[in-house]
Structure 1
Amino acid sequence: MDQIKHDFIHVNGLKLHVAEIGTGSQVVLFLHGFPEIWYSWRHQMISIAKSGFRAIAPDYRGYGLSDQPLESEKTGYHHIVSDLVGIMDHLKIDKVFTVGKDFGSRAAYLLALLHPERVSGVITLGIPYVPLVPSKFKQLLPEGFYMSRWEKPGRAEADFGRFDIKTVVKNIYILFSKSDVPIAAENQEIMDLVQPSTPLPPWFTEEDLDYYGKLYENSGFHTPLQMPYRLKNEDYGITDPVLKVPCLFIMGVQDYVLKFPGLEDYIRNGSLNQLVPDLETVEIPEGSHFVQEQFPDQVNQLLLTFLNKHI
């Protein structure tokens, strides 16, 4: 971990934290999800740097050590994409491979669609390229669906506020590591789905939890709940939704996201390939929502095979 460098880059009026390792001419841009942070890519960054690539992983605006956006400026994917382009410009990077996880996958896809000249290929974990907005899934699941609960201003804050920040992160990691979609009963909160005695997943250490806890103590959950759970539908002006770059989709078969209505059929029946014609899909049978932390060696090898194939 000590070999990973940290810097702050001024982009779009904000000071954004960027972790970096490696000096290769081929650059890989890692995009985290929630409740993750740049740190969730630690295993992959070190591995690909040893193989000659340059790895970069920012904390999004409002996450980790990056500045909070203005209260009046509700963060959306268009802000994230603009920040990523700004980071690349500042570092004088013309083109990258993107690796996205969870909602970072959508940011990776959008960067390739809106700035195709800046992207050599896209790797995503857990979330395929889906033309439907997340609200479509919310409408098809019960009221207690975690995304529906977290989109309501005040409810998640009150739920989270009953616990210290490390416990909130721990609970979300435990919930999202399971194969069942987190759904609360009518008079139950999402945090109450985890018993206090439930241990961390075996691949997630107390040291890891401490690191996440410190980063979220700095940022809080205000922006992370806004982005991605409280987004309104955004119009990106995309007229052709077909991805024109090579793509790799890594799916943990035990990932609860596969149980979102219609998603598994969409992945397996060929609909996904129509929108992503140059697509390779790899399934990891025991993989959970955090497959890159759970099986780092396997994911690292998949990344390197794809990267070396397309440089």
Structure 2
Amino acid sequence: MLLDAASMYFRAYYGVPESITAPDGTPVNAVRGFCDMVSRLVTEQRPSRLVACLDLDWRPAFRVAALPSYKAHRVVAEQAADTNPAGIPEEVPDTLGPQVPILLEVLAAAGIATGGAEGHEADDVIGTLAHTESVDPVLAVSGDRDLMQIVREEPTPVRLLYVGRGLAKAELLGPAEVAEKYAVPVGRAGEAYAEMAMLRGDPSDGLPGVPGVGAKTAATLVSRFGSWAELRAAITDAGDTRLASTVRSKLAAAAPYLEVVEPVVRVVQDAPVHLDRPDTLPATPADPDALVALAERWGLTSSMKRLVTALHKAAS
């Protein structure tokens, strides 16, 4: 199980009342919500291995070099922050930022592995670990739709538990579900989803997309071609009848964007991932005393008990 940590603690922060505080009044709602989500996921999914994947760079240089608009609208907020601890992406609310180091301490004391890659986002960490896995089926947990592109059947199954609407309304997505949801070919659902995202764009990430090409047109286009390269080649091939003249004109006009967008959208599968410890699901906390101390200091005794119980049951 690969957790998109930032995606999850942001949702925990907004899903758990900020009135949940430590004895000294410090908000700990994100820590509590995140730990309770992990407890529930471990209990329900019973993974043998678990990694909380971190954003070590929320706006990687290689993506910005390809497309300067990538997340550019968020830069001011990020630069205004005094600190940016490992795992904290852009636009962090004032009362969330201080909770992330606490969360990382909890994970370390519990013995849950964290993973990151210098110069890469958590998506890339997840994509790399999922791609290099050779034995176990993989379940990624995230509220980021970009990770729909990693789903596959072979050589080992990779699924996405999409928690964009919360864990209670989570969707388990594989190639068949992504294909049905977005009307793309099931045989290459993950790749086709990424290609569709390139064409339609994503304002939240600063991806302009191709003007005049929406989600439906994008899905139709990627369904007609076997690869991104094949679609790109058809733009300059007037004899390729799979592209109507009006659509070809729109794609041709967006040629500078289409030439650079692929590495921006594609999740990296060979990032230099480093894990802080082995990823085997711990049956008992790595540092029980530290976990107890953290629970008492931050008023998280109940959440820590739930986490310890979930780990013990899943590993037994």
What is the TM-score of this pair, normalised by structure 1? 0.27
Higher strand share: 1
How does the TM-score come out when normalised to structure 2?
0.27
Of structures 1 and 2, the larger Rg is shown by 2
Q: Which has the higher contact order (CA 8 A, sep 6+)?
A: 2
Greater helix share, 1 or 2?
A: 2
